[in-house]
Structure 1
Amino acid sequence: MNEVIKISHLTKNYYTAAGEVCVLKGVDITITSGEFVAIMGPSGSGKSTFMNILGCLDKATSGEYLLNSNNTTALSKNDLATLRNNIIGFVFQGFNLLPRKSLIDNVALPLVYAGVDSHERKERAKQILKSVGLEAFGTYLPTHISGGQQQRVAIARALVNKPKLILADEPTGNLDTKTSQEIMQLFSELNEKEGITIVLVTHEPDIAAYAKRLVNFVDGKIQHDGPTERMMERVQ
């Protein structure tokens, strides 16, 4: 299998008035194409910082991060942005939809940055909305649909550039149990049927259970990494 993510000896330090804070302490991990990985850990364990680095939103202090064989540590901000837009789709807890734009326009936004013409943007956005069951709502504003539907729009936006990797940060955090299950089923289908690699951060064991691999962070290090069903009792 192709390596989508390969990280070696990764560290991340922040500098505050109180001194240096080491958030990630020598992380090593490889994630191959088609994996579905859940990342868990207590608050302050480093998982959010790790996800920011995975998403090329932040850079490590030291170590190496290869994203689809591209050495991110050697890239400029502009090159990182291009790589991010071509390879990664993001899904956030807060949906991050533009409230005054239609669902079609929200989904098409990454295509604007990719330089796709307006007609193709609209057609691709319509097709992706159809794939998440919202083709009838394309002209609606985000405020006119439910939270679960908004998260489906966010997933559609993440998919519109045909990414190799989806990074999802607490994607069910603002949803009720039933809607959370529907969203996680959608992620499972994208992984199993489309072969999209998914890395998901969650605090909830029942959400992590949808993944096939579970990585648990403690104090800036990976404490456990293995098949979800074998690790769930230990993490809980």
Structure 2
Amino acid sequence: MTAPLIEVTALEKDYSTGAGVFQALRGVSMTIAEGEFVAIMGASGSGKSTFMNLLGCLDRPTRGSYRLNGQDVGRMTSDQLAALRNREIGFVFQGFNLLPKLTALDNVALPLMYAGMAREARRQRAQAVLERVGLGERSHHTPLQLSGGQQQRVAIARALATRPRIIFADEPTGNLDTETSRQVMEFFTQLNREEGITLVLVTHEADIADYAQRRIRFQDGRVVEDVTRAEVTA
């Protein structure tokens, strides 16, 4: 049997506050198979964003274990985690997180530079990915010269640049209007179905979560719902 892409066991995360210790995650265990499209839901403070940060190797758990693609993340050094993020993971955020003075092409090429790819090769790869998201003709525009939807597509292109196995998207439609949100989610769905990329999406919007095959709901740091649907019609 193929090992799951993501496997967490009794995952817990504590934060120290002025009032004492706040337990953001409380004994979360689950697996996510390669090729799944998962929506993580929950109210503010439920633990969903903390969980996303742990899965994306942006933070470390206080207790419990996390294996990504068979690798024990808890045993890795900071440099090993950075290399793992660059190799296996793509991120898409609500605020786009594009560098304002760089063109779309240079923003997309940035993770390829960190990966050590030669300049011409990374520019060719960045251009190809921008064309994949329908922005080939806008590659030399800066973020301020692009609409919100176009900026998010640049962010998706950047996430795809290193050919990751998994994309974590944190409220990716939060700053977009309804029609642009639909276009972005249809593109995510296409990536999942046609290229087999695993998608883990944090959202508080039920209509956005409806694009996913599986819905996991957090409350007070615990998983209170985990539902997989046989067929999704968004």
Question: What's the TM-score once normalised by structure 1's chain length?
Answer: 0.96
**Paired letter, 2:88:** I
**Paired letter, 1:68:** N
Q: Which structure 2 residues correspond to residues 16-165 of structure 1 after superposition, within 5 A? A: 16-165=17-166
**Paired letter, 2:10:** H
Q: Distance in 1 between matches of 2:141 and 2:3?
A: 39
SS at match of 1:154: helix
Give deviations 1:96-142, integer Å, cap 9, x for gaps: 00111011000011001100010001000000000000000111111
SS at match of 1:3: coil
**Paired letter, 1:51:** M
Stretches of structure 2 that go unaligned for 5 or more consecutive residues are: none
Give deviations 1:53-105, integer Å, cap 9, x for gaps: 01101000010000111101111111111111100000000000011101100
Question: What's the TM-score once normalised by structure 2's chain length?
Answer: 0.96
- Is the Cα–Cα contact under 8 Å of residues 3 and 70 in structure 2 kept in the other structure? no
Q: Distance in 1 between matches of 2:14 and 2:3?
A: 30
**Paired letter, 1:215:** I
Partner of 2:9: 8
SS at match of 1:53: helix
Identity of aligned residues (%): 55
**Paired letter, 1:201:** V
Q: Distance in 2 between matches of 1:117 and 1:189?
A: 29
- Is the Cα–Cα contact under 8 Å of residues 209 and 229 in structure 1 kept in the other structure? no
- Is the Cα–Cα contact under 8 Å of residues 209 and 228 in structure 1 kept in the other structure? no
Partner of 1:192: 193
Q: Distance in 2 between matches of 1:102 and 1:36?
A: 30
Q: Distance in 1 between matches of 2:67 and 2:3?
A: 12
**Paired letter, 1:124:** R
Q: Distance in 1 between matches of 2:229 and 2:167?
A: 19
Partner of 2:176: 175
Give deviations 1:170-198, integer Å, cap 9, x for gaps: 00000000000000000000000000000
Greater Cα shift, 186-195 or 14-23? 14-23
SS at match of 2:5: strand
Q: Distance in 1 between matches of 2:230 and 2:183?
A: 20
1:2: how far off? 4.3
Stretches of structure 1 that go unaligned for 5 or more consecutive residues are: 231-236
Aligned residues: 230
